[in-house]
Structure 1
Amino acid sequence: MFRDTTTRPELLARIADNQHNPRQIISVQELKVLNERSNWKGLVQLAFHLTVTGCSGYLWATNFGNWWLAIPALVIYGFSIACMFAPMHECGHRTVFVNNRLNETVGWCAGLLSFYNSTFDRYYHKWHHLYTRIPGKDPELTEPKPSNLGKYLLIISGLPWWEGKIRGHFRACIGQLDDCPFVPRTARGEVIRSTRLQLAVYAGAIALSFAVRQPWFVLYWLLPLVVGQPILRFLMLAEHTGCTLDANLLTNTRTTLTLWPVRFLTWNMPFHAEHHLYPSIPFHALPKAHKQLSSHFAHIDSGYIKVNWDIVSKQGKSAV
């Protein structure tokens, strides 16, 4: 594992030296190499992710009553579905595949599985990158904050996320996007059609479950996602919570060092500071970028348990 031996004073000095234009840390030529997209690497990653989803889903479906196997399978299955947010996010940046139509198609399907709408999220996420941690601008700052233990547990449960997604999809479906300044008026029709199609797919799956009198929709999508979302919330809370509320890309985002299985299912999302500094770098090149950039960041933490413990221990102080 890459280890940074920079002392705290040296780190602060380096941040001060680079914060005026941190995107010049990597040379143009080095960035060109890191930015290289690959259909092959994207398809292999997607295939292995879907393999984990399929195998764990099969074990969950065929072991009812054998709970010592069924419950772990359900947790892995649910987490892998929730983590379909990751390929949707990467495809939204157009970095997974060379072919942009493939980015759009895979991103939309991944959003369908993870209960995100990729079309809406593309515009939402663009503003998050443009205005990261800037109050009044970054749309993520409107989400609930873990300001005390109760709110932290509520956020981790996923309930606010479900409420926000259900309300957001419904409002987009009926065209109520006036409170979404990040969606241009010229793109509203596209967002509305995409959301309606997504909800129609869910409605079709529910209708099929009723038609065959089997709880397929609940057992193989809704329940697993309910189980998997708290794990994803646990991870995503680490991305910016407790970081600076300003435009400094070296201090407003956190990278979390974690186990390979987590990095795999999240498509290297834990290298989040690197991603925010250079959003053009594909998921498969982020570990290499980390080796070149980690000494410049203020927040490189060892493990999600540590980060979440720090968030809970600092509750009520600056948990935003």
Structure 2
Amino acid sequence: MTPEQAAWFAQTFDRLVGNVGQAVLGKSQVIRLALTCMLAEGHLLLEDAPGTGKTAMARAIAASVQGSHNRIQFTPDLLPSDVTGVTIYDQNTGKFDFHKGPIFASIVLADEINRASPKTQSALLEVMEEGQVTVDGVRHSVGDPFMVVATQNPIEQAGTYRLPEAQLDRFLMKTSVGYPDHASTVEILQGSSVKDRSLALQPLITTKAVTEMSALAHTVYTDTAVLEYVSRLAEETRNAPEARIGVSVRGALALVRCTKVWAAAHGRNYVLPDDVKDLAQPVWAHRFVLDPEAEFAGAQPDIILGRILSDVAAPQERVSA
């Protein structure tokens, strides 16, 4: 990536943040994380209370990149075919036709994903990892770009199915939207007549441009010292006394992918250790499997990560391409 390309990337990224911010007021940091997740070709898990704007953000992102958007309400009786689609025999043609499910969209909101059975949750594993679904032995691509924005309610756990660690690891990031500040809340209330602000958004770029930006982000320079820093941090998460399972190699790769997009979004064609520190929490915290005794004692992944980030020395010198 050249400096000129990095400047264009940052300008386009900021425009997208501003556009989505018209629908989700006062949440620029969360929007930046969500767009970073999309451009890093990953999926986002939002753990938040109802009514905080999760659906509006997914719709706003889809509208900003001229993409399609589907919402799947996960319930205990939802079947895997309700998500992926089903093959139906057509008597007129004498052939089996595939009817696409709601997973075939640019941005898919999987609302309250932990309310569906593990069998239905597992239907997302292939499509989230490989961008395709297999029905009756036939593979169907969901297209590019493709991002799942899944939500779960952290308050109410009755009648829910906890996401297994293998599926949590498929999500590139986990964060929360949270309630807006006072000024943003007043502005939202003033526009109470507008039911969905995302419907008024105009697309800024095409889905093809999103794919091009993702490919461009891959070319951001990452020095060996930064990669060694990420590796040391990952090793420390595995050695932490409170953790039963730390960050995997896939988790380390996920962090590197995100830091490249984060650097480009700030107009740089190289990654800094500060980029790693900025994204370690949303990319790694949900990948921890805590020891049961430590979890019972009140240990939290974000606190453990914060301690590791302060203990492991970051590279001091920046080496750019």
TM-score normalised by length of structure 2 = 0.29
* Structure with higher helix content: 1
TM-score normalised by length of structure 1 = 0.29
* Structure with higher strand content: 2
